[in-house]
């Protein structure tokens, strides 16, 4: 008995190409929200309730209403076509989880560095991480309801971002804006690819 849509491999078609992307940034910047906004299924998250044990360790300034935190990763998927599937890995933001970033970045085509302009200093470590590893990235400025909206070039100057790195305005709750950030990242990675091949 055959279904209306055959299995691609049974029909002789190759398996889809997996494209790994990382969503990174500081603590409480909106990474879990972004992965959830674009994933085609409810994302796998490792959210845990924040407890008194994190007092004095996690800086809650600007995110004082935050009640949960990612302790390992977020995972989502977007099927682009029969040939390409995007796998999204949200990285935890606290310093103590940074050793996980090396594993999450392994094999990644690129990264979205999500930025909260209320805590711009938290973005430097993420930018530095991907620059040092030569991994293409874009900066996505997450819009919060109570923040002043800076122009992308103002953010570029503040973070000392090279001119070739795209900067986009994003709302981690908005599927269309998040998808735009991911499309911008993939295009940026493709544009960089020829110069990376020796």
pLDDT digits (tens, 9 = 90+) for 122-164: 999 999 999 999 999 999 999 988 788 899 999 999 999 999 9
Phi, psi of 72 (to 5 degrees): -145, -70
What's the pLDDT score for residue 170? 95
In contact, 90 and 70? CB cutoff 8 Å: yes
Residue-wise pLDDT tens digits, 42-63 = 877 665 564 454 455 555 555 4
pLDDT value, residue 145: 85
pLDDT of residue 6: 45
Whole-model pTM: value is 0.78
**Which residues make Cβ contacts (< 8 Å) with residue 174, sequence separation at least 6?**
37
Using DSSP's 3-state secondary structure scheme, residue 180 falls into helix
CA distance 65 to 61: 9
Split at pLDDT 50, 70, 90, the class of 1 is very low
- How far is residue 178's CA from residue 1's CA, in Å, rounded to a whole number? 40
Model pLDDT for residues 9-47, shown as the tens digit of each residue: 555 678 889 999 999 999 889 999 999 999 998 877 665
- What confidence score (pLDDT) does residue 93 get? 76
Measured at the CA of 20, the angle between CA 89 and CA 149, to 5 degrees, comes to 60
3-state helix, strand, coil in the chain (%, to 5): 35, 25, 45
In the numeric block, the tokens 């919060």 are attached to 144
Confidence of residue 66 (pLDDT cuts 50, 70, 90): very low
């Amino acid at each position: 008995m055959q279904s209306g849509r055959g299995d691609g491999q049974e029909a002789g078609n190759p398996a889809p190409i997996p494209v790994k992307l990382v969503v990174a940034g500081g603590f409480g910047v909106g990474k879990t929200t972004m992965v959830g906004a674009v994933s085609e299924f409810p994302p796998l998250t490792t959210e845990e309730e924040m407890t008194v044990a994190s007092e004095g360790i996690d800086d809650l300034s600007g995110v004082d209403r935050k009640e949960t935190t990612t302790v390992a990763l977020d995972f989502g998927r977007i099927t682009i076509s029969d040939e390409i599937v995007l796998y999204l890995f949200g990285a935890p933001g606290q310093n103590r989880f940074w050793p996980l970033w090396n594993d999450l970045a392994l094999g990644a085509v690129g990264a979205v560095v999500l930025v909260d302009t209320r805590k711009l200093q938290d973005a430097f470590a993420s930018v530095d991480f991907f620059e040092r590893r030569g991994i293409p990235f874009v900066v996505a400025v997450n819009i919060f309801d109570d923040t002043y909206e800076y122009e992308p070039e103002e953010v570029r100057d503040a973070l000392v971002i090279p001119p070739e790195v795209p900067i986009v305005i994003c709302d981690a709750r908005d599927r269309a804006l998040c998808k735009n950030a991911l499309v911008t990242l993939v295009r940026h990675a493709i544009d960089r690819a020829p110069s990376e091949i020796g």
